[in-house]
Structure 1
Amino acid sequence: MTEQLNADYTTEYPLECDHCHYPIPDEPEENGEGRYCSTACLEAAEDGSTMAEPSAYKRVVTGVEPLDSLIPNGVPADSLLLLSGDEGTRRTELGVELAWRALERGEPAVVVSFADPPTTALERFYQNGWNVLPALENDRLRIVDCFTHRLDDRDEFIDQRNEWAEFVGEAAEDAIVEVRDPSDRREVTHGIQRALEDLEMTETGLVTIDSLDELESLLQREGVHDFLRGLRARVCKARFVPIVASAAATGEDDFSAAEYVFDGIIDLRLTDRLAPDARLKQLAVRKLVGAQFLPQWVTYEYEPARGLFAFGPNTDAQQHYEFGNGTMQSNQHR
């Protein structure tokens, strides 16, 4: 009886390799100091190699409530994700929050900005009440500037900044990686790689790209796809660092139509009117390779400091809003 219980336990809970930490499907390789799934792992261990537990870096719990409610076991860290959404769905805020949550976890983040200058990219954090000055000083944040050198009057633009923008720009000076020709995808890739190396980003952190629509104004659509495929190989697959890129949903010609480029696609939409004077926002996971996710839409809203938050499935949406004088304001946590 005891032998049968032990056999059942071993079947249900297989031995774990002492090197790669994955289950041992067959008879283990042993050397008196450990049990291994293969000769490769045994020899690596004997050479002094140690591997971290896969769960330590291969899954990312984003810290964004609506996303985590749909992806309970985390996003695979080798993923290239697309945020595809209508205008007004807080797509930009979601990208900013994903970077902030990485910083909150003590991890580094790289923000690739095609749409805005570095001071504006940083101001997105401050608009949410998220102070990134410590992250800049502690060498945990880089802004890859793919915007400023496209300006004809770059020096004049810098000279005309107000006092706050000038202060932020000076504080972030060492954290800005300039890309002089963002229409050269090799130069952009090199800038991102330099930022990753500066922050020693392997098996940690997050990269965000804002936005693919702006990048498409510099490259043809196929050029954007080639750029993303190369970046996915060099960053996501080689370093286990996820990349999150945002783009507007524009019908059949949007970026999500090329699903093969992305490991995961998050759809954001505005619903039909479900509450007086309000079009509610919803998000769903269309695809996510290598992870379980709930196949449903989650209704969400946004608040500064809190970020995106999900409505409960049985919540009356009107409870979250006040209506008056043509304005809408969240009542959550007042």
Structure 2
Amino acid sequence: MTEQLNTDRTAEYPLECDHCHYPIPGEAEESDDGRYCSNACREAADDGSTMAEPSAYKRVVTGVEPIDSLVPNGVPADSLLLLSGDEGTRRTELGTELAWRALERGEPAVVVSFANPPTATLERFYQNGWNVLPALENDRLRIIDCFTYRLDDRDEFIEQRNAWTEFVGEAAEDAIVEVRDPSDRREVTHSVQGALDDLEMTETGLVTIDSLDELESLLQQQMVHGFLKDLRGMVCKARFVPIIASSAAMDEADAPHAEYAFDGIIDLRLTDRLAPDARLKQLAVRKLVGAQFLPQWVTYEYEPARGLFAFGPNTDARQLYESGNGAVQSNQHSHR
């Protein structure tokens, strides 16, 4: 009877390997100090090797409400994700918020900026009410500057900065990695790798790329895919650090390439189907390798400091806005 109970309990609660912490699918390899799924794990443990719990580094809860509502168990940390959406969907704010949520968790972040100079990239955080000065001082944020050296007169650009921009630029000076030739994908890749090494980013933090559209203006599409493939292998797969890249919505001709290049695609769109006199923003997960996700659209809005938030189908979208200025009302924040 006891043996039967033990068998049933093992079937319901499978044993975990004391080294890799994954379920043991068959008979355990046992030793004096534990049970293991394989000889490799037992020998590694005998040599003093230890592994963190898988959930500690292989899943990321982003902290962005609309995404987390669709991916309740977290995004695999070895993912290259694409944010695909047209203008007006707050795609840029979403990329900024994902980096901020990592910093808020105490993790490092690397922002690869093709579309803006570093001060403008940092200003995106401040426009949302997110102060990144402590992260700069604590060496948890890097900006890979793929913009400044493309200017015709970068010295004049620096001289024309106002007092605030000059202050932010000086405060971030040690956190900015300048890329002299953004059209050289190897230089960009090495700059990202160097930033990750400096911040000791393995199994922690994330990388964002602000605009694949700007990158495609510098490189041919085939070279962009090669660049993404290299980063995916060296950052996502080797270090378990996710990369989130942003791009305008792709047409059907580009879709097969996206399916090949990315582990996950998050679509953002504007729609007037729910409220004919209002263009609402919606978000859905098109694909996400290695994770369960809800196959539905989530309606969302944006507010400085709060970021993106979801609201349900029973909410009157017009009630979310104050008359005349489009600002979100503070008393309508609940997620229904």
Residue 213 of structure 2 is aligned to residue 209 of structure 1: no
Partner of 1:187: 187
Q: Judge conservation of contact 2:84–2:250 (CA < 8 Å) in 1.
A: no
By how many angstroms is 1:318 displaced? 2.0
Distance in structure 1 (CA, Å) of the matches to 2:331 and 2:93: 20
Amino acid paired to 1:203: E
| Alignment match, 1:288 | 288
Q: How far apart in 2 are the matches of 1:147 and 1:186? A: 16
**Cα distance in 1 between the residues matched to 2:75 and 2:149:** 34
How many residues in Structure 1 have an aligned counterpart in Structure 2?
A: 332
Partner AA of 2:177 in structure 1: V
- Contact (CA 8 Å) 2:267, 2:283: kept in 1 or not? yes
Partner of 2:221: 221
Q: What displacement does 1:101 show?
A: 0.2
User: SS of the counterpart of 2:27?
Assistant: coil
Alignment partner of 1:333 is 2:309: no
Inter-CA distance 332–2: structure 2 relative to 1 (3 Å threshold) = farther
Instruction: Provide the rounded CA distance (Å) in 1 between the counterparts of 2:33 and 2:17.
Output: 12
Equivalent-residue separation in structure 1 for 2:157 and 2:163 (angstroms): 13
2:54 is aligned with 1:54: yes
Q: 1: CA distance between counterparts of 2:255 and 2:94?
A: 18
Give runs of aligned pairs for residues 73-88 of structure 1, distance below 5 A: 73-88=73-88
Structure 2 distance, partners of 1:271, 1:256, is: 24
Secondary structure in 2 aligned to 1:180? coil
Aligned amino acid, residue 95 of structure 2 = G
Separation (CA, whole Å) in 2 of partners of 1:59 and 1:222: 30
Q: Where does residue 162 of structure 2 map in the other structure?
A: 162
Q: 1 CA distance for matches of 2:89 and 2:149?
A: 29
After TM superposition, give the deviation of residue 254 of structure 1 in Å: 4.7
Aligned residues of 1:84 and 1:256 also touching (Cα < 8 A): no
Counterparts of 2:133 and 2:176, CA distance in 1: 13
- The Cα offsets for residues 38-86 of structure 1, whole Å up to 9 and x where unpaired, read as 1100110111100000000000000000000000000000000000001
Secondary structure of 2:285 counterpart: strand
Report the CA distance between 1:257 and its aligned residue: 4.9
Q: Is contact 1:114–1:145 with CA below 8 Å preserved after alignment?
A: yes
Taking structure 1 as reference, are residues 248 and 6 closer, same or farther at Cα in structure 2, changes over 3 Å only?
same
Q: Deviation of residue 258 (structure 1)?
A: 2.5
Amino acid paired to 1:68: D
Q: Which aligned pairs between 1:101-112 and structure 2 lie closer than 5 A?
A: 101-112=101-112
User: What RMSD, in angstroms, separates the aligned Cα atoms of the two structures?
Assistant: 1.3
**5 Å matches for 1:88-103?**
88-103=88-103
Aligned partners of 2:139, 2:278: CA distance in 1, in Å? 42
SS of corresponding position for 2:125: helix
Residue 92 of structure 1 contacts residue 210 of structure 1 at CA under 8 Å; is this kept in 2? Answer: yes
Distance 1:93 1:240 in 2: 24
What's the TM-score, normalizing by structure 2? 0.96
Gaps of 5+ in 2: none
Structure 1 portions without partners, runs of 5+: none
Q: Give the deviation of 1:332 after TM superposition.
A: 3.8
Structure 1 runs of 4+ off > 4 angstroms? 253-257
* In structure 2, C-alpha distance between the alignment counterparts of 1:311 and 1:160, rounded to whole Å: 42
- Do the aligned partners of residues 11 and 273 (structure 1) sit closer, same or farther apart at CA in structure 2, a change above 3 Å counting? closer
Q: Which amino acid aligns with 2:329?
A: N
| 1:11-90 mapped onto 2 (5 Å cutoff) | 11-90=11-90
